[in-house]
Structure 1
Amino acid sequence: MFSIIAHKAARSIPRVARFIPRASRSILPASRSIPNAARLIHASVPQNTRCPKCSQPLPTPLPACTNCWHISTLPPDTRFHDIFDLPYEPNPFLVDVSLLKKRFRDAQSICHPDSWASKGSNKQDVAQALSARINEAYQGLLNPLSRAEYILQRHHIPVSETDQVNDMQFMSEIMEARETIEDAENESDVLSVMGETRDGIKSTIDELEGLIGKMQWEDAKSAAVRLRYLEGIERAAKKWLDNHS
């Protein structure tokens, strides 16, 4: 798969620099240049719309009214951010995760199918569909990798499981990390790999934030693919620790 020379070259890299994408060392994440007050727009109060049937304010951005028990489906192109009333601009990668979790709970409490069971089977079916959309949007925004993939998909740049990284040095480091985990005889070796990998994950997430903020989509895709490899190493390290605890 790779030459022996390339693999040995990876072993000469200083450990502190492993997994740190070269591009991320020169790209300042978009959030670092945004004032804190501007970043906190994620914590704004939901801009409730009114029920089309009874005209009362809706409790969430979803078309579900607990006053008159009117409920309808969402348009198929509704953005994940809009389901939770989270801002898409100026950078859709910036998501207040604590606020996302709160609004997820609020949305599910309103749209849970059990709450609509006594309102008729048709309304319960709509609630079931809305609940599924809420779950899909929540999972899509919760994790940085799935969030990046979702944003890229919206810009017609799909990220596939078969996508690879055209960076020999990075791939050599990934191979070395996997070998270290597979051949590990003590916990310290695995913990060392895990620490380096987590540093790489953090740096790659910072890089993604900057690239998506600048709408550099192809570079953002490359960073997302690297992040997938790094998360694979982290999972392998956790599995080793679980099996040897």
Structure 2
Amino acid sequence: MRTSIRSSVRACVRCRVQAASLCHASSSSSSSSSSRPTSPPTNHYDFFPEALPDGPPPRGHFPIDQRALRREFLRLQAKAHPDLHPADLKARAEATSARINEAYKTLSNPLLRAQYLLSLRGVDVSNDETLRVEDPNLLMMVLEARETIEEAQDEAELEQPRAENDERIRASEAVLEDAFARDDIDAAKREAVKLRYWVNIKDSLDAWEKGKPVVLEH
């Protein structure tokens, strides 16, 4: 009987030792996994994994959920604020904050977003002054929009022009969505140039003041 009891005790001790070893190994593995450094962002989309989980086109979409992007941006900036970091890490926090700001500014603006995506493909449409839209109908629409903004007497008169221009921007985003999905760089480039007109009109509408001349950049 005593031999049987001793055997049972030894078996129980062995089980406890094995369990403790497994627990320690699991804890070490978990600690190692949690402390493993994450890859640094390689493009603007990498800063916003929640709002933009699929990354840039063609895998991701060109249109962006602006509210989701804004929410994640504010959370990131709250964590990266230099005042929340010790003195020896403030410079790094400031650099990170600046990169987050630049990424958000670029992606939240459809024109800057299109230009950025094209720049990733080696195409610079933001500084190429030779890129112009020669469609006479489009140019006429731009001139009419300028006259409407300049002649408006109050904000109410700009409600319809603003709605019409917002629809043009949405339509342009749809064209860019298709172009980037097909990786059709020429089509994306042409539409980005056209979008530049609509965004300039939007900026003029947002900055409207009675009697203030309107300057639309081409």
TM-score in same-fold range (> 0.5)? yes
CA distance in 2, matches of 1:237, 1:193: 8
1:112 aligns with 2:78: no
Structure 2 spans left out of the alignment, 5+ residues: 1-30, 212-218
Aligned to 1:243: 210
1:178 aligns with 146
- Higher RCO structure, 1 or 2 (CA under 8 Å, sep 6+): 1
**Match for residue 138 of structure 1?**
104
Q: 1:243 to 1:183 in 2, by over 3 A?
A: closer
Please tell me whether residue 229 in structure 1 is matched to residue 211 in structure 2.
no
Question: Is 1:81 aligned to residue 49 of structure 2?
Answer: no
- Per the TM alignment, residue 205 of structure 1 is displaced from its structure 2 partner at its CA by 1.5
How many correspondences in the alignment?
A: 173
**Identity between Structure 1 and Structure 2 (%):** 34
Structure with the greater alpha carbon radius of gyration: 2
Aligned position for 1:211: 179
TM-fit CA distance, 1:147: 1.4
Write out aligned runs for 1:16-27 (5 A): none
1:48-63 paired onto structure 2 within 5 Å: 55=32, 57=34
1:201 and 1:230 in contact (8 A); partners too: yes
Tell me, yes or no, if the aligned pair for 2:82 and 2:90 is still in contact at 8 Å: yes
Question: Given the two structures, how large is their TM-score scaled by the length of structure 1?
Answer: 0.61
In structure 1, C-alpha distance between the alignment counterparts of 2:155 and 2:201, rounded to whole Å: 15
In structure 1, stretches of 5+ residues that fail to align are 1-53, 64-73
Report the CA distance shift for 1:180/1:90 in structure 2 as closer, same or farther (over 3 A). Answer: same
Give the secondary-structure state (helix, strand or coil) at the position aligned to 1:90. Answer: coil
Residues 34-71 of structure 1, C-alpha deviation per residue, up to 9 Å, x if partnerless? Answer: xxxxxxxxxxxxxxxxxxxx74737xx977xxxxxxxx
Name the counterpart of 1:158: 124
Q: TM-score, normalised to structure 2's length?
A: 0.67
Q: CA RMSD in A?
A: 2.7
Paired AA for residue 84 in structure 1: F
8 A contact 1:92–1:151 mirrored in 2 = no
